[in-house]
Amino acid sequence: MIRWIAAILLLVAPVAAHAQPFNPAAEYITAGQDEPGYRAWMARANWRPTYVKAFNDYLSANGVGGVAPTWQLLRTATDWSRCGAEPFEVPPVNAWPNIVAALRYIGAFVEPVIGQVEIVSVYRNPQLNSCAGGAPESVHRTMGAVDMVPMHPITREALMASLCRIHLGSGSWNSIGLGFYKGLRFHIDAKKFREWGTAGAHGGYGCTAVMAEGARPNTPAIATPGVTAAAPPPFAAKIVYPPASDPLSPQR
């Protein structure tokens, strides 16, 4: 019996050793832009906690403080280290309003369908945006764009199908842009209704093609508002999220 149990353990051990948790952010987040890196960044300048708290309070006051952890919203570009930039940055105060509509859309339409997301890039100052290969007029320069990955297992095809369904149903009347990178990274901005990087599994391009190819999401979905001739104005009723409970943000 003992030999039999030992043999079973030898067979199972290699599988367990190679099992990796689902973490699509690992492809984009390096040491220094993770939680320990955020703490270290905060500690390097005594004025940073004051500015981060002000930003955190601004998000809460505008009803989007609980959509994503505040510290993740300060992540700059994936290529920050190569570009000799900071891993986190508090954007200029005049840019703060630009992220509210994008976060409100993510909380109201995206997360109810695909679940919680992890933010991997938001604001990029002009120099960093250029070094990182961003478009000259990238919405990231004005803090109006959010790049993220889902935190629950899903295939790229299922993610695209889910997000395309959301975008076709509610993106137009909320002036939302949707973009896809390789893997599971995707982009939401509130500049205008548009899409990019949307390549279907069978060669089609664009959300309409993705939906026509019949991809089906493998996560539970809820109905999203359809576009009608009398579509309501964007977020006519203010959506209020729970207060921010980010343990890494400065305490009140």
pLDDT for res 166: 95
pLDDT digits (tens, 9 = 90+) for 184-230: 999 999 999 999 887 766 666 778 888 777 544 443 333 333 333 33
Give the domain 22-212 fold.
Muramoyl-pentapeptide Carboxypeptidase; domain 2 (3.30.1380)
Which sequence spans correspond to the domains of the chain?
A: 22-212
How far is the C-alpha of 8 from the C-alpha of 182, rounded, in Å?
39
How far is the C-alpha of 131 from the C-alpha of 7, rounded, in Å?
54
pTM: 0.79
- Residues 19-48 have a mean pLDDT of 93
Cβ neighbors of 83 (< 8 A, separation 6 or more) are 77, 127, 128, 131, 132
Reported as a pLDDT band with limits 50, 70 and 90, residue 18 is low
How far is the C-alpha of 161 from the C-alpha of 158, rounded, in Å?
5
pLDDT digits (tens, 9 = 90+) for 63-122: 999 899 999 999 999 999 999 999 999 999 999 999 999 999 999 999 999 999 999 999
Contact 33, 87 (CB under 8 A): yes
Nearest to 131 by CA among 76, 57, 73: 76
How far is the C-alpha of 181 from the C-alpha of 187, rounded, in Å?
8
Identity of residue 130: S
Identity of residue 216: R
Which of helix, strand or coil describes residue 163? Answer: helix
